[in-house]
A = this chain, B = another copy of it.
């Protein structure tokens, strides 16, 4: 046989090996694969005898199991045990919720090893082995079954434990805890049934606290608990430790699909996991006396990021006592006074763990009769502040490099650094009235205003008002701007209120359905309580809470570390970050946040303020081009002044101005009273106003007469707007300010549209320059939004007329999916909840569908015009995942609301580093 053939057959033999071991680094991605029919090796041991797992097997062993194995390997004092794999959980579900065949055999084998290692025996009447059983998925996840402790105790074994510890009270205390926990979390017996029995025993013995009950009382209690168990479960508390173990393992598997776990995964957007692992570990006791204890700690301060050991412990207690908050724990700072040796050992472990994981750790530990045991370590959760500080400190400490540091910070969490927030301490006792959607982060305190006009009026006097509306519309913008915060009773995360508020970084709680608003009466009612414009309320845009009274706030501090992270981000990112801003104020703020241009300056908001709306209405009501032009003439100075302000704020940076976009009817009043007012103000019969409103009414305004369709049918609007831009630019130039306008035509769907608009725009630019006698250089790029699917599909053609593309991913998403943002609340939450959609496509760009159009248009556009500038200016521009996509799609920039600029800068760097 020739050598090559031998080689080949060997190779294929290897490839088809049945037990493909998980490869190093496969990590989380591996979890998305379905397990083989039978999960191969189902149990991994860790202990002195052997340690089969390791940190890289997180997907298979869960975070907890992998880290227990890991800690064991690096010599930390970990009680031995074993982990049942996540694949086994998947197999459990695949075979219709039945434990895979062979599993319990493997479990028993590992129990035997454990027994040998510890010299104890399951169910022994002399020295029984007791274990804890815990769930543990690859990603930390509350909502699943937490813990069963002391498993292995039976009527016999409890006596053995009493004998071995010489502490009958301790033994029966452990037993009653087991029956209670097992009954509760494994068998679903309501905790209160046990509680009741405990109270009876306590009163019998006149005991105030649990610890006051004597041993005999606990013996009685165990008896009573078994009765409760029998009554509610319908069978006796199992006296076979292996049976206990089997039931507990299955309960952990079941808890993977408990409602709370599912909803947590949905909210945290965790997908692609196999299931949970089960960790079975020898018990150690923090409640064996005053030389014992238990605690949880962070290797650094998770709130501030300070590099200081941070945690709490309880003397003579079991782990759940710390978590449950029954007794008040002591901070670890005080530990040296209790046991200096253990404290120093903990500090050494802290350093060892951080060196090993190069990450801040969240640990659990127990001290049994003076001996320290590590029960868990995992990456510690932290605030945005802490994330930034820790990243910066760890660079300084040379624990990690700049790139790793940047990748560590969840970009979205930077929001916390930018907005004031309610004092967490004060919020603990808050009088929460309702919880709506956390539509726009922030913490606002004020008194309700029930109309936009009211908000403006009261805002003028310096009063802090919360605009409370069923929903908001473009007519409300001024009132929204005047308000300290916005609260709506309907509408979702992408409702008008939410989008506008986020754009401004203004606090907004949307869709607080529990609130019933009586606009005329000037009240809102919730939980049977009525609030008027004289009652102060607080709204938390980060949590969605609506709170009675004024909750104290803390202002953000943009620390030096924040600046460091921004600087580093700029060092590594390829994408430019622009901002969506319509006012000089927004533009200025965004520039401070690091925006290098405006990617979307909407012009229609400018038409709503004060007198402008009247001129706008006059224009719309005009019957001839001449009258329209006369009305537009009145708007021109306003627009020009607006642009002068924005150009000045962005001196030397490009400003992409989108010409008028919304349908004209949005500018007309819909109610009788306002129609009368308009008719009077601009001196036309009210019938005419009414008729025009009716005439302009559209079944589907999103798909109607808007965008560039307006300037194509009313070219005089384009003329006014372009003139205002050019005149403003010239005025700026003369004042020594470098204006760099780019004119963007929205909603283009065919090349011809843009060709006509481009020609017309160029004409007006040339004419205006001539009129102004301006001969200096003033280059104005002309481009288009790509927001209609057809524009993306025909990008090669459209690029012939465009100097730049800017993806309007809001509308592109609406059209690609056929979803109206305004109406999607009726089905979109259900879609996300039932995982029809992995994520709300208005929050994070749908890469498969909408993204396909973005990529296609980018490629096709650049095939036509090499170096075509391409950006994105939808809401997605500030979403880290979407920024990552834009980086990969080769875009030149993303544009987002001012407050998201820092997030986008970091996300862009992360995209480049990934």
Contact = CB atoms under 8 A, between A and B. Distances in A.
Interface in A770-793: 787-790, 793
A814 interface: yes
B699 A822 contact: yes
A752 interface: yes
Contact of A713 (B699, B700, B703, B826): B826
A820 B713 contact: no
A701 interface: yes
Given A789-B789, A794-B849, A818 B705 contact: no
Nearest to A851: B793
Interface string A697-733: 0111111110101001100000000000000000000
Interface string A803-842: 0000000010011111110111011001100111100000
A172 to B, nearest CB: 49
Contacts of A837: 750, 752
B703 A819 contact: yes
A376 to B, nearest CB: 36
Contacts of A700: 699-703, 820, 822-823
Contacts of A823: 698-701, 703-705
Interface string A836-854: 1100000000101110110
Contacts of A831: 712
Contacts of A817: 749, 788, 790
Given A790-B850, A836-B753, A818 B815 contact: yes
A712 B788 CA distance: 27
B822 A818 contact: no
Interface string A117-143: 000000000000000000000000000
Given A811-B818, A819-B703, A836 B712 contact: yes
Interface string A414-451: 00000000000000000000000000000000000000
26 contacts: A698-B822, A698-B823, A699-B702, A699-B820, A700-B703, A700-B820, A701-B823, A702-B820, A703-B819, A704-B823, A705-B823, A705-B826, A707-B818, A712-B830, A713-B827, A713-B830, A747-B818, A752-B835, A752-B836, A756-B834, A789-B853, A790-B816, A793-B816, A793-B852, A793-B853, A815-B815
Contacts of A853: 789, 793
Given A702-B702, A702-B703, A788-B817, 16 more contacts: A699-B820, A700-B820, A700-B822, A701-B823, A702-B818, A703-B814, A712-B827, A713-B830, A750-B837, A753-B836, A789-B849, A793-B848, A794-B848, A794-B852, A811-B818, A815-B815
Contact of A756 (B698, B713, B750, B836): B836
A822 B702 CA distance: 12
Count of chain copies: 2
Contacts of A709: 826-827
A166 B713 CA distance: 62
A403 to B, nearest CB: 34
Nearest to A749: B817
A818 B701 contact: no
B818 A849 contact: no
Nearest to A752: B836
Contacts of A819: 703
> Which 5 pairs of residues, A with B, have the shortest CB-CB distance?
A703-B820, A700-B820, A790-B849, A699-B822, A704-B823
A837 B753 CA distance: 9
Interface in A847-874: 848-850, 852-853
Q: Which of A698, A702, A707, A793 has the most CB of B within 10 A?
A: A793
Contacts of A835: 752
Interface in A205-232: none
Contacts of A789: 789, 815-816, 818, 849, 853
Nearest to A707: B818
A833 to B, nearest CB: 11
Q: Which of A705, A712, A837, A850 has the most CB of B within 10 A?
A: A705
A817 B752 CA distance: 14
A653 to B, nearest CB: 31
A593 to B, nearest CB: 32
Interface string A309-320: 000000000000
Contacts of A699: 700-702, 820, 822-823
Contacts of A703: 700, 702-703, 814, 818-820, 823
A738 to B, nearest CB: 36
B826 A704 contact: yes
A511 to B, nearest CB: 13
Contacts of A830: 712-713
A519 to B, nearest CB: 15
A470 to B, nearest CB: 10
A775 B897 CA distance: 62
Q: Which of A811, A814, A817, A846 has the most CB of B within 10 A?
A: A817
Given A713-B827, A837-B750, A698 B820 contact: yes
Contacts of A702: 699-700, 702-703, 818, 820
Contacts of A698: 820, 822-823, 826
Contacts of A753: 836
A788 B707 CA distance: 21
